[in-house]
Amino acid sequence: MKLFDFLFQKKVIGPIIIIVVGLLLYRAIRLIIKKMFNHGKSSYEQKRRTTIVDLTANVIKFFIFAIVLILILDIYGVDTRSFIASLGIAGVVLGLALQETAQDFISGIAIITDNYYVIGDIITINGFTGEVIELSLKSTKIKNIAGEVLVIANHNVSSVINLSQEKAGVKIEVPTGYEEDCEKVEKVLKQVIEQAKKIPNVYSDSKYLGIESYNDSSITYSFIIYCKQTERWDIKRRVLKIVKEFYEQENIKIPYNQIEVHNGKKIV
């Protein structure tokens, strides 16, 4: 009976109820926000809205935590009015001490509202290209194809190349021997393009461009493949393989540098 009375004391059961209600409230608000922003027309818009949901949920979590803490302190007899006033003073001090953190917070909001990038985008920052795997109020995490992760403070994001908002144009340049017939080469490359269009995520407006340049030992022909940004590197490799197969099939020569080796005897 004493244990029962102890557990149901205000100072014991009160904080538990407040914490549980706080958790349930956070989850409910997050679910409501998620449903509100869960109707993107495109995959990119859906990614953008998912990022907004995560960012908003983090802000709400902070405020709910503050309210839960104040209510628990009130149960234990702490003067919350003076506590809130103290928090205000402490906030000013912390604001001055943590200016960079405040800048990160503001920059994080700007990144979303100005549509710099969202989670899942392929971007380039300071020469580092990868997928945005996390975007918080303080920093952005980018993972490249080698598995390396770059963590950059949001206030340091000054210029970004976003490779996901539009389709990619992958330009393929093919060095070909001077002795090869131009019409034959163009015909074969157009066949390569038609074959490439069968690859998933390659768009139908891919096209042959023409002769790109005259080199010392070859003519460079070029064409462009339009495809999904996130698949551009894989698609380029697959298209180059198709070019090699077609050139071998049609006996078209791809010139390459050759080294002549002598065994030390006098050359006549």
Nearest CA to 169 out of 116, 205, 131 is that of 205
Confidence class for position 6, pLDDT limits 50, 70, 90: low
Domain 122-162 sits in CATH at: 2.30.30.60
Q: Which residue has the higher pLDDT, 82 or 130?
A: 130
Residues 32-67: pLDDT tens digits? 777 766 655 555 556 666 666 776 777 778 788 878
Q: Which residue has the higher pLDDT, 243 or 82?
A: 243
**Domain 168-249 maps to which CATH number in 1.50.10.10, 3.30.70.120, 3.30.70.100, 3.40.50.300?**
3.30.70.100
Predicted local distance difference test score (pLDDT) of residue 193? 94
What residue spans define the domains of the chain? 2-97, 122-162, 168-249
Nearest CA to 48 out of 129, 132, 171 is that of 132
What is the pLDDT averaged over residues 71-85?
71
What is the pLDDT averaged over residues 23-27?
84
Residues 167-216: pLDDT tens digits? 778 899 999 999 999 999 999 999 999 999 999 989 988 999 999 999 98
Q: Which residue has the higher pLDDT, 197 or 117?
A: 197
**Which range has the worst mean pLDDT, 37-46, 101-110, 157-166, 174-183?**
37-46
E strand map for 54-135: 122-125, 128-135
175: left (phi over 0), alpha (psi -120 to 50) or beta: beta
pTM of the model: 0.49
**Distance between CA atoms of 51 and 45, rounded to whole angstroms?**
10
- Please say if the pLDDT value at position 26 is more than 90: no
Cβ contacts of 190 within 8 Å, gap of 6 or more: 208
Tokens 């995959």, located at residue: 43
Predicted local distance difference test score (pLDDT) of residue 145? 83
Predicted local distance difference test score (pLDDT) of residue 22? 83
**Distance between CA atoms of 156 and 70, rounded to whole angstroms?**
34
- Please say if the pLDDT value at position 97 is more than 90: no
Confidence class for position 163, pLDDT limits 50, 70, 90: confident
Which of 19-23, 249-253, 254-258 ranks highest by mean pLDDT?
249-253
Burial 114-135 (b: 16+ CB within 10 A, else e): eebbbbbbbbebeeeebbbeeb
Confidence class for position 92, pLDDT limits 50, 70, 90: low
Domain 2-97, second-level architecture: Orthogonal Bundle (1.10)
Q: In the chain, what percentage of residues exceed pLDDT 90?
A: 25
**Burial of 202 per CB tally in 10 Å (0-12, 13-18, 19+):** buried
**Distance between CA atoms of 45 and 88, rounded to whole angstroms?**
38
Predicted local distance difference test score (pLDDT) of residue 32? 78
Predicted local distance difference test score (pLDDT) of residue 210? 93
What is the pLDDT averaged over residues 123-151?
86
